[in-house]
Structure 1
Amino acid sequence: MRPTCTGRLVVLASAALMLVGGASVGTAQAQAQAAIGPITYSIEFSNPRESDDNDLPEPYGEVVVRAPWGQQTALWEHPDRDINTPTLPRYPLFGGAEHRYVPHPVTEVCAFVGEDDTGINDDDILADGCVPYTGPGPYTISAEGGSVTVTIYNFD
């Protein structure tokens, strides 16, 4: 009789663990699903090693948000144009926030951004990677040459 009673306890405990696990997965999926729609954000580029006339970075690359399956939406992108890469310490440049429609759930905020240095200097890498999306707030992605901070204000 004891093995049957113990077996029932194991089954009940397993069921409880499955329900708890399912609830946390469901919560994560609900948070990700809530991130579909217009996104309001701004981006700051930081290069502490910049030492030209204006001490401001000339970033190139891309900043994106990604879905769990890899689909991404670009928040900002710019090609490397050597001496013609524009100076951009912030996007949008003059304060405020930018808006973009994101047609998928968001699980990561990613930045792959270099900084153009002409002449004898090599380009710096400001950001190279992704961080998990957890809701509105700032997300800083760094590399050896600086950082990129994406502030997500909300999804409408």
Structure 2
Amino acid sequence: MHFKTVGRLAAVASAALLLLSGGAGAAQAAAPGPVLYSIDFSNPQERDDNDLPEPYGRVWLQAPWGQQTALWEHPDVGINTPTLPRYPDAGRPYEMRFVDHPVTEVCAFVGEDDTGINVDDELAAGCVPVQGPGSYTITGADGSVTVNLYDV
């Protein structure tokens, strides 16, 4: 009788682990630790003085349960929103952030300021699954944001 109970407990534990991990075919989450990254902002129809975007909004990494770590954020300050085709922009190849949770998605909700010209553009709106280092592009109605993860 004891073996039957232990066998049932093992089966329940295995099923629980399988459900928590998302199944055998699910992408594995990146573990907590340092993340090296850069972000590219693209707005193909930008037509001001320098043809470069003035992005505002937020880009972050997300855990399976919704916890977030911001990679970049900037408020919309109208005519004073800075031009930024890439982050980091000071000649550095990447930025580093410590993430204290598993990473399963990269998300971006980024607009592009067109104050005085027309209505603001939407560069990115949503999330994409992360499967390790690589380039992840989140699109919007008017452009895209690409998050390059060099080490995650």
TM-score (norm 1): 0.80
Matches within 5 A, 1:60-139: 60-93=56-89, 94-139=91-136
Deviation per CA, 1:107-145, whole angstroms, max 9, x where unpaired?
A: 100000000001140000000000011110000000111
Q: Give, as a single letter, the amino acid of the residue that structure 1 aligns with 2:132.
A: G
Q: Which residue of 1 aligns with 2:3?
A: none
Q: CA deviation at 1:25?
A: 3.4
- Hey, what's the Cα distance between the residues in 2 that align with 1:43 and 1:76? 8
- SS of the aligned residue for 1:25 comes to coil
Q: Distance in 1 between the 2:22 and 2:111 partners?
A: 37
1:90 maps to a residue whose letter is R
Superposition CA RMSD, Å: 2.2
| Percent identical | 68
If you compute each CA radius of gyration, which structure gives the higher value, 1 or 2? 1
* Unmatched 5+ stretches in structure 1: 1-14
Structure 1 residues 76 and 35, CA gap change in structure 2 (3 angstroms):
same
- Corresponding residue of 1:47: 43
Q: 1:38 to 1:27 in 2, by over 3 A?
A: farther
Deviation at 1:63? 0.3
Which stretches in structure 2 are left out of the alignment for 5+ residues? 1-10
Tell me how far 1:28 sits from its aligned partner.
5.1
**Which of the pair is proportionally richer in helix?**
1
Aligned to 2:6: none
Give the secondary structure class of the aligned counterpart of 1:148: strand
CA distance in 2, matches of 1:105, 1:54: 39
